[in-house]
Each structure stands twice: as C-alpha cells, then as structure tokens.
Amino acid sequence: MKIIKCFKILLLLVGLFGLSSNPALSQFQQDPVISPEFKEDGSVTFRIMAPTADSVKISGNWMAGWGSSEKLTKGTEGLWELNISDLNPDYYNYTYSVDGVRTIDPHNPWVIRDVRNTFSAFILPGENSEIIQLSDQKNGTVQEIWYPSPTLNMDQRRMKVYLPPNYNDSNEEYPVLYLLHGGGGDESAWTELGLANRIMDNLIHSGDTKPMIVVMTNGNPNQESTWHVAPGHKPVRESDSQNPMATMRFEESLVSDVIPFVESNYRVKTGKENRAVTGLSMGGWQTQKLALNYPEMFNYYGVMSMGIIRESQFAMNAQTHLELTNQNIDNLKESGYELYWIACGTDDFLFDSVIHMREVLDGHDFDYVYRETGGGHTWDRWRLYLSEFAPMLFQ
C-alpha cells in the first residue's frame, strides 16, 4: 500500500512540474510582466506585452479631458512601457488602446466596473491615500442582500450593507447611514468606485467616526439590481420606465421598504436621530427630496455635487423642485434636524445649481453647512466628502 501511495504522489509531482511545458495550463504560471509598478520616487510604470501591435495608448482618469491618452513606447520583445511621475496618491483607473482596440491591462488583476465599462485599477500609496487603503486591523463586512420591495412591485431587489468591525462579536445596536449613488450607478458603485467600506473601516479604527451600519441601495426604481444579475433573477427592466430623478418612486421605496427591512433584520438604533442619508449627484437630488417629503425620517443630510437646477435637465423639473423646496423647507426646519451638509467642487458642471440652492436656502434662513473644494464631478471628490461627512454623524 505504501508503494502505491508513493507512486501516486510521484505522478502528482510530475504533473505539477509539467504545467510549465503545457501551453494549455500556462494560466497557472506567474505573469513575468509587472504593471502597474510603483517606484520609490512615486512614479508609476505601465506595461503591456503586445509584440505585433503598431500603437499602444493609455487613458486614465487622472488625465484632463474626456478621451485623453498618452502613448507607450515599444521596447525589446514587444514590451510596451510608459512611466508617469506626476500622480498624487489616490485611487485610479485606466484602459489601454492597442491598435485602436480598447482593453484592460492583462497584467493587472484589479478590474472594476463603472456602469457597463470595465477598467483596470490601482491605488498609488502615500499619505493622501491612506483613508482608502485596506486596514491591517479587523475590518467590517459588506453583505449583498436581496429584500422585498412591494412599493416597486418587485419580489426581490438587491442592496449592499456594510457592517462595522465587531458587529458579529457583540450585541451592540448601531445607527444607520443610507448612502446613495449617482446617475448610471447602482448598489455596487459606493463599494467598487467609492471604496466606502475601506473609508468607514479606517475612520472607525482612527476613532474619528462612530461605528455605524451603511446601507447602499440601487437608486434606480426600475432595476432589481445591477445589470449583471445573479442567476435565477430577472434581468434589469430598463424599458417603459421614467428617469429615477423624475419620480418619487425610489424615495418612497427607501422609506417604505428598505428602512423597515433594515430595522427588522439588523441590530440598529431606530428613530430619526439614528438615521442619516447622503448621496452624490442623482443621490444628492434624492436626498433633497427625502428631506422635503419625509422630514420625520432623518436627522442628518448630505448633498454632494447637486443643488437646485435653474433649468430642467436630466428629467429633473426645475420649477417643480423649486416650488417643492419653497413649500416644504419650513416643515423641515420645524421638524428639527442635526445637520444639513452641502459639498461641491468649483469645477463641477452642477456647481451653479449649488450656488442657486444656497440662494434659495438663505432666503428661508435655513441653517446648513457648506463645503467647497476644487475639482469636478468625480469619485475622488465623493470619497473625500464621505470621509468628511461620516465623522459628523451621531456624535
């Protein structure tokens, strides 16, 4: 029996060592090309092996102007390379164009999705990116939850729920932040593009933020989940439905379906004093409508990169929203709230709507906190805003 066992082990070892000579199993070998590579001087080197290509370009979200790109240089054995030295520590994404064909970096395993496009991603290490680095302490958990939504006539919708570190090791109850994405996004946006769970972990570990549950829903009322749904679930319903910013269906479902589900299935502190809501762009529009229509539900509001538009656009009716604000803002004042926070970048295409919003609120002597930064309508701003908004909550 021992001889047979040794013979089986020998055959296994021969098979493993044979992987290197079997092209069909080359996927098990380590990729010899490193991309991106971080240098000690803070620069980043991008590479791609494309021996037969005549042109390779890289497009990254750090580049100014939509569709901007830089050329890589072809070296020996068909290895293309480019070194970039002017990046600040942050979270970036990029793609290549190889002879005009868009592709992700085949040497970088970190792939992310934004709407229906995929990108390669990386975090450039440094002090400014510490808030989004994976903590070496005990981290929180992100659950993908299917819940019923009678308001939207759906048996199941998906949301993501962040549970703080030690949630599963205690009987403690937690306040809840409802975190809303922007137009084109879904329930995965804040974890995949915003790295919200990492931000919350680091803020909690530093003591800057009280532990809380963060609920990230799908703000598109016509969708059960992100478009690449799990097997067994119906595909996204995109036809014969209005733009989510043109209706109150999402806001109604959040109040009637999501909040009751969360408070029935998680250890949460109830009451408006233990609820906060914030969102970017479309989510900022939805946050405003929640404040105006359901002032009894939340005590903390955060409006990122969105204000009161002067002219109708993106299915948002400017006059209707202005009238709603003028009619209901005093009800919000009377109901009481702890914080109404507005943040926007001066290069944001919606910056003028924020100026208008402040004019309207000032006309009602409405108390709010305003945070103005540089930058535009981009995720680096929204990650920053979340890192500043969360420490203000539930103190």
| Domain end among 65, 94, 125 | 125
Q: Is 6 inside a domain boundary?
A: no
Task: Tell me, yes or no, whether 150 and 54 share the same domain.
Answer: no
Strand, coil or helix: 394: coil
| Domain end among 104, 125, 146 | 125
Q: Is 22 inside a domain boundary?
A: no
Task: Tell me, yes or no, whether 195 and 307 share the same domain.
Answer: yes
pLDDT score, position 18: 39
Task: Tell me, yes or no, whether 361 and 232 share the same domain.
Answer: yes
Q: Is 294 inside a domain boundary?
A: yes
Q: How many domains does the chain have?
A: 2
Q: Is 11 inside a domain boundary?
A: no
For residues 42 and 339, what is the distance between their CA atoms, to the nearest angstrom? 39
Task: Tell me, yes or no, whether 276 and 363 share the same domain.
Answer: yes
Q: Is 3 inside a domain boundary?
A: no
| DSSP code of residue 349 | T
Task: Tell me, yes or no, whether 86 and 178 share the same domain.
Answer: no
Domain enclosing residue 36, as ranges: 30-125
The type of residue at 145 is I
pLDDT score, position 12: 31
pLDDT score, position 343: 98
Q: What is the CATH number of the domain that holds 224?
A: 3.40.50.1820
| Domain end among 76, 103, 125 | 125
Beta strands in the chain (DSSP E): 37-38, 44-49, 56-60, 70-71, 73-74, 79-84, 91-98, 101-103, 111-114, 117-123, 141-149, 154-163, 176-180, 213-216, 275-280, 300-304, 339-345, 369-373
For residues 67 and 79, what is the distance between their CA atoms, to the nearest angstrom? 24
pLDDT along the chain (395 residues), means of 10: 41 36 50 92 96 97 90 95 95 97 96 90 96 94 96 94 96 98 94 97 97 96 77 49 75 98 98 98 96 97 96 82 92 95 97 97 97 96 98 97
